[in-house]
Structure 1
């Protein structure tokens, strides 16, 4: 099953990951920002759960207690230096790169599930079978948060213009939505 993950989804995920402040290595953040700004590279990047025996891969660990929170693997060569990975990625923008993010310290999000692709090296269960319910829950939570924001803005607008009836109607809707979240 081949998935289509857009470069926009990858950019959103990378931005989300950086904003979580769970990456300790400045060079890793710098490399991720470079990937985010390069459309051609984004098209060859694949976020997977397992990298297996891939030709080129990156493993990034969030808030790692390991010796290294970054590893770049090309064929049989391994390095923990993000700068070496950057130079190889900059010079070779044709071969795919598989990125595994170890996020033990981070609650996976809709952004993560949106970019995660099935891998030939992962378990026989597809990403959808494994994370489908969690992704659905994350998406529903995001939709509720968006609806709350819109209603909140409309309540403020009703207050600003003095529309008492609209304020009461929206306040009831607000309470209903907030009650569903708990």
Structure 2
């Protein structure tokens, strides 16, 4: 999705008119960006800018994040002057900006220009508990599928009279069911009162 230069300018104007940034120099930096159409073409608004190769985190008062951070590969600094010189010298390179303010997740004005951050790791949004649930579900699905496949192949061998393959598959099914029974939690019978 391509965001127009006018939409990006409008978003920055909206942000500056509605919120007070934590660092005054950031206002000048954003005004510079809004005047440079060729620079705005390379600007992308994202969440989690810390993963981008080159980006800025800009926070309004009341936001929990720091006032300003400039990310450039492995370099991280709060120096607005360094960010200004970098952007002035590298106008054609992609620049990712994250605006942080109270209610950012609910803001339609910000979401109109928001793009996916291509640098976020694939598993960034998956919680550890979700990961375990997914792995358990996949394991169960594979187990059920394997057992069903073995039974189907055993039936086919019986239908075709293939006794050698029938014996091999029957042993595999026996081993599989034995291993499965050993991994299942044992349920203790209830004691009678």
What TM-score bracket applies, with the shorter chain setting the length?
A: 0.5 to 0.7
3-state SS of paired residue (2:40): helix
Distance, in Å, in 2 between the alignment partners of 1:37 and 1:110 is: 24
2:116 — aligned with what? 118
Cα shift readout 1:120-178 (whole Å, capped 9, x = no counterpart): 32877xxxxxxxxxxxxxxxxxxxxxxxxxxxxxxxxxxxxxxxxxxxxxxxxxxxxxx
3-state SS of paired residue (2:2): coil
Bigger relative contact order, structure 1 or 2, given CA contacts below 8 A and separation 6+? 1
3-state SS of paired residue (2:57): strand
2:16 — aligned with what? 18
Decide whether the 8 Å contact of 1:59 with 1:100 is kept in 2: yes
| Unmatched tracts of structure 1, length 5 or more | 125-182
Q: Say if 1:75 and 1:103 are closer, same or farther in 2 by CA, change over 3 A.
A: same
1:89 — aligned with what? 87
Query: Equivalences for 1:158-177 in 2 at 5 Å?
Result: none
2:45 — aligned with what? 47
| Unmatched tracts of structure 2, length 5 or more | 126-193
Decide whether the 8 Å contact of 1:55 with 1:74 is kept in 2: yes
Give the TM-score normalised by structure 1: 0.60
Decide whether the 8 Å contact of 2:39 with 2:91 is kept in 1: yes
Distance, in Å, in 2 between the alignment partners of 1:31 and 1:71 is: 13
Distance, in Å, in 1 between the alignment partners of 2:104 and 2:114 is: 15
Deviation, 1:103, is 1.6
Decide whether the 8 Å contact of 1:46 with 1:117 is kept in 2: yes
Query: Equivalences for 1:1-182 in 2 at 5 Å?
Result: 3-64=1-62, 68-104=66-102, 108-120=106-118, 121=120
3-state SS of paired residue (1:116): coil
Q: Say if 1:114 and 1:67 are closer, same or farther in 2 by CA, change over 3 A.
A: closer
Decide whether the 8 Å contact of 2:54 with 2:72 is kept in 1: yes
3-state SS of paired residue (1:71): strand
Deviation, 1:119, is 2.0
Distance, in Å, in 1 between the alignment partners of 2:108 and 2:63 is: 25
Q: How many residues align?
A: 123
3-state SS of paired residue (2:70): strand
Structure with bigger gyration radius: 2
3-state SS of paired residue (1:58): strand
Give the TM-score normalised by structure 2: 0.57
3-state SS of paired residue (1:99): strand
